[in-house]
Chains A and B, each alone.
Chain A
Amino acid sequence: EVQLVESGGGLVQPGRSLKLSCAASGFTFSNYYMAWVRQAPKKGLEWVATISTSGSRTYYPDSVKGRFTISRDNAKSSLYLQMNSLKSEDTATYYCARRAANWVVFDYWGQGVMVTVSS
């Protein structure tokens, strides 16, 4: 059974940093692109970052480019999101998601972790 379990969320002040983790199991982690998708309270979904199987390629929307860094450790079947210079608009539930093998869609999602940026 595919499982994605996020951790590392919490309350953080504007301008500070936070690192999220996602522990994957139930599939060969190194064979899949992985991603982070977020959802602000009572709002819709927003793609945040994608990383290739080896970690050599990463992709971000302009809203987080230069502030967020996605990374992975295939030996540990773990995905990470380093978030720097956090803003109030980054307040959201962050989901770790597996990208499907042959389609740019997300076929498995974690339960999500809440990040609140507030003073």
Chain B
Amino acid sequence: DIQMTQSPASLSASLEEIVTITCQASQDIGNWLAWYQQKPGKSPQLLIYDATSLADGVPSRFSGSRSGTQYSLKISRLQVEDIGSYYCQQAHSNPLTFGSGTKLEIK
């Protein structure tokens, strides 16, 4: 199985700050990576697919990048509505696996 190591587990940042979350894949998965946002008490929502492509309706302050087997989600200017948990997911092969999540709070 492909392991996705996500960090940090939690993060506190100020409004307008740049936030970065990373996921390390245990093997080469190419661009087969997605990011999801889960607001408190809500279902997950797709943010990024194909490592760097923004899903429909997602604000442009969100972006994804890849360096080898390390993937990053960046929020360029943190907003109040961005609080919640974030998960990466490898889409390369079954079993599909998620990172352990990052809980983002406002400082």
Q: Which of B11-19, B43-51, B73-81 contacts A (4 or more CB under 8 A)?
A: B43-51
Contact with B along A90-119 (1 / 0, CB 8 A): 000001000010011111011110000000
* Chain A interface residue count, Cβ-Cβ cutoff 8 angstroms: 21
- B95→A47 contact, CB < 8 A: yes
Q: How far is the CA of A63 from the CA of B36 in the complex (A)?
A: 23
Q: Which residue of A lies closest to B93 (CB)?
A: A104
* Chain B interface residue count, Cβ-Cβ cutoff 8 angstroms: 22
- A44→B99 contact, CB < 8 A: yes
Find A44's partner among B32, B91, B100 (CB 8 Å cutoff).
Answer: B100
Find A109's partner among B34, B44, B50 (CB 8 Å cutoff).
Answer: B44
- B95→A44 contact, CB < 8 A: no
Among residues 61 to 113 in chain A, which have CB atoms less than 8 Å away from a CB atom of chain B?
61-62, 95, 100, 103-107, 109-112
Among residues 55 to 103 in chain B, which have CB atoms less than 8 Å away from a CB atom of chain A?
55, 87, 89, 91-92, 94-101
Q: How far is the CA of A107 from the CA of B46 in the complex (A)?
A: 6
Q: Which residue of A lies closest to B89 (CB)?
A: A105
Q: How far is the CA of A110 from the CA of B44 in the complex (A)?
A: 9
Find A104's partner among B32, B55, B87 (CB 8 Å cutoff).
Answer: B32
Q: Shortest distance in angstroms between A32's beta carbon and chain B's nearest beta carbon?
A: 14
Find A46's partner among B32, B43, B98 (CB 8 Å cutoff).
Answer: B98
- A45→B91 contact, CB < 8 A: no
- A62→B95 contact, CB < 8 A: yes
- A109→B95 contact, CB < 8 A: no
- B32→A106 contact, CB < 8 A: no
- A45→B89 contact, CB < 8 A: yes
Among residues 33 to 56 in chain A, which have CB atoms less than 8 Å away from a CB atom of chain B?
37, 44-47, 50
Q: Which residues of B contact A44 (CB under 8 A)?
A: 87, 98-101
Q: Which residues of A contact B91 (CB under 8 A)?
A: 103-105
Q: How far is the CA of A104 from the CA of B92 in the complex (A)?
A: 8
Q: 10 A–B contact pairs at CB < 8 A?
A: A45-B36, A45-B87, A61-B94, A103-B49, A104-B32, A104-B91, A104-B92, A105-B89, A107-B55, A109-B43
Those 4 A-B pairs whose CB atoms lie nearest each other, nearest first: A104-B91, A61-B95, A105-B34, A109-B43
